[in-house]
Amino acid sequence: MSYTNASSGSGSRGARRTVEFGRTYVVRPKGKHQATVVWLHGLGDNGSSWSQLLDNLPLPNIKWICPTAPTRPVTVLGGFPCTAWFDEGELSDDGPKDVEGLDTSASHIANLLSTEPSDVKLGIGGFSMGAACALYSATCFVHGRYGNGSPYPVNLKAVVGLSGWLPGGQNLRNMMLGSHDAIRRAASLPVLLCHGVGDEVVPYKFGERSSQILSSVGFRYVTFKTYQGLGHYTVPKEMEEVCQWLNERLGV
């Protein structure tokens, strides 16, 4: 099943910029619907390729929602337009340059989850830039708001990031200071990060550092899986461990 979505910004107080998201692919649960996970593709990809992979996983009680990012000029590609959840230049620890783009995508993802039944557990996962957007969504959930201050509306139970990084990781510690609610939510949200040592696109150090930062600010349930010889792609062993982790964390 697929449909086209349009999202108008991220609830910012100023003028909204309309962003057109691509097609969303939905993989219906084959068993009892116990959890819904939005899964985010990488730069230049679309929701279709991941929906086919996820449809074959032995997780019959999960509904998968695989949206397609907007097409936008991307700095790291010299301004060439392609599907991207936000604009990104060279990876660094300086923090995200495109908070508006991150907020818009995080809002779109949350909107997809907000219409799910109340007894269904909600999660977000992704690969590469999709993993970065999933982790950004995790920080929005923990703070209870997006980067622009608008309230974050859904209750996340699991976040998965493959071959990705944490946008604005250096700022996270300051944002946690003095917020008991944020500390409480961080302590209860399980996060699985997987990264290949041979990743030539998003170097391994960014995945490792993201895990360290999350743990240091109070995320108690961060699991970091290392894969020797793995480049910027996924392999069956990695997906098997994702399945096992989701089974344990979501009880599906």
92-99 contacts at long range (C-beta below 8 A, 24 or more positions apart): 93/169, 93/170, 93/209, 94/170, 95/167, 95/168, 95/169, 95/170, 95/171, 96/136, 96/167, 96/168, 99/147, 99/148, 99/168
* 85, 109 Cβ separation under 8 angstroms: no
| H runs (alpha helix) in 190-235 | 204-216
Tell me if residue 232 is catalytic: yes
How far apart, in Å, do the first and last CA atoms of the chain sit? 22
Structure tokens at 196: 């290949």
Q: Strand 80-83 and strand 71-74: pairing?
A: antiparallel
Residue 57 to residues 37, 45, 65, 177: CA-CA distances in angstroms?
Answer: 13, 20, 14, 39
Within 8 A by CB and 6+ apart from 14, the residues are none
Could you say which of 128, 137, 163, 210 is catalytic? Answer: 128
Tell me if residue 199 is catalytic: yes
Beta bridge partners of 226: 195
Residue 145 to residues 81, 158, 197, 231: CA-CA distances in angstroms?
Answer: 29, 18, 33, 34
* 65, 51 Cβ separation under 8 angstroms: no
Could you say which of 87, 195, 199, 211 is catalytic? Answer: 199
* 252, 36 Cβ separation under 8 angstroms: no
Tell me if residue 143 is catalytic: no
Q: Which residues are catalytic?
A: 128, 199, 232
